Amino acid sequence: MGPLDLLSEALIDILKEFSATKRFLSPAALKEALVARQELFSLLSPTLGSSTNGESDGASVPVARPAPLSQAKSENSKQSYLEPLHDLKTLLLRILDSLGPLVMGNYEKRFSELHQKTNECESLPSLILIGGQITRMLRELMYESTERINISNNFLIELSRDLHKMEEQLFSYQNYSEESHQISIKFNDSLLEHTNDVNITVDALISVQDIHTIITSMLNVISTAIKDKNNTDEVRHREANLKISELQDNLRTYKEEILQVKERTESLEKEIMLDDLTQINNRRAYDLHIHEYLRRYHRDGKHFSLILIDIDHFKRINDNYGHKIGDSCLKEIAQLIKSSIRQSDFLARYGGEELVVILEGSNASNAENVAEKIRKCIEKTRFHFQDVSVSLTVSLGVTEVTHSDTEPDIPFIRVDEAMYRAKRDGRNKVCVVTDLSFCKQRR
Residue ending a domain, choose from 123, 147, 171: 147
Count CA atoms within 13 Å of residue 398 on its CB side.
25
Do 250 and 335 sit in the same domain of this protein? no
The model's pTM is: 0.49
**Within a domain: residue 158?**
no
319/81 Cα distance (integer angstroms): 29
Average pLDDT across the chain, whole number: 76
- What is the rounded average pLDDT of the residues 290-296? 94
- What pLDDT does 441 receive? 44
**Within a domain: residue 153?**
no
Does residue 178 carry a catalytic annotation? Answer: no
DSSP string, 152-217: HHHHHHHHHHHHHHHHHHHHHHHHHHHHHHHHHHHHHHHHHHHHHHHHHHHHH---HHHHHHHHHH
**Within a domain: residue 53?**
no
Bridge partner list, 388: 385
- What pLDDT does 58 receive? 38
Do 288 and 435 sit in the same domain of this protein? yes
Do 233 and 354 sit in the same domain of this protein? no
The residues, any chain, with a CB within 8 Å of residue 317's CB and separated by 6 or more, are 311, 325, 326, 329, 390, 392
Q: What dihedral angle (degrees, nearest 10) is formed by the CA atoms of 360, 363, 364, 369?
A: -80
Do 430 and 303 sit in the same domain of this protein? yes
- What pLDDT does 236 receive? 74
- What is the rounded average pLDDT of the residues 40-64? 44
Do 306 and 172 sit in the same domain of this protein? no
Residue 157: burial class (beta carbons within 10 Å; 0-12, 13-18, 19+): exposed
Provide the domain count of the chain. Answer: 3
The residues, any chain, with a CB within 8 Å of residue 75's CB and separated by 6 or more, are none
CATH code where residue 373 lies: 3.30.70.270
Residue ending a domain, choose from 273, 295, 324: 273
265/362 Cα distance (integer angstroms): 33
For residue 265, the enclosing domain spans: 163-273
Confidence of residue 88 (pLDDT cuts 50, 70, 90): confident
- What pLDDT does 170 receive? 60
Do 132 and 259 sit in the same domain of this protein? no
**Within a domain: residue 174?**
yes
pLDDT at 34 over 80: no
Number of Cβ within 10 Å of residue 312's Cβ equals 18
Tell which wins on pLDDT, 274 or 49.
Answer: 274
Range with lowest mean pLDDT among 75-84, 195-204, 392-401: 75-84
Do 203 and 112 sit in the same domain of this protein? no
Confidence of residue 163 (pLDDT cuts 50, 70, 90): low
Confidence of residue 417 (pLDDT cuts 50, 70, 90): very high
Residue 203: burial class (beta carbons within 10 Å; 0-12, 13-18, 19+): exposed
Confidence of residue 149 (pLDDT cuts 50, 70, 90): low
Name the 3-class secondary structure at 134: helix
374/240 Cα distance (integer angstroms): 68
Residue ending a domain, choose from 225, 244, 273: 273
pLDDT digits (tens, 9 = 90+) for 367-387: 999 999 999 999 999 998 888
Q: What DSSP element (H or E) covers 440? A: strand 440-442
317 with 391: CB under 8 angstroms? Answer: no
CA distances from 220 to 190, 216, 231 (A): 14, 6, 16
**Within a domain: residue 57?**
no
Do 199 and 119 sit in the same domain of this protein? no
**Within a domain: residue 293?**
yes
- What is the rounded average pLDDT of the residues 304-333? 94
- What is the rounded average pLDDT of the residues 105-115? 79
Do 297 and 261 sit in the same domain of this protein? no
**Within a domain: residue 97?**
yes
Active-site residue among 108, 353, 368, 400? 353
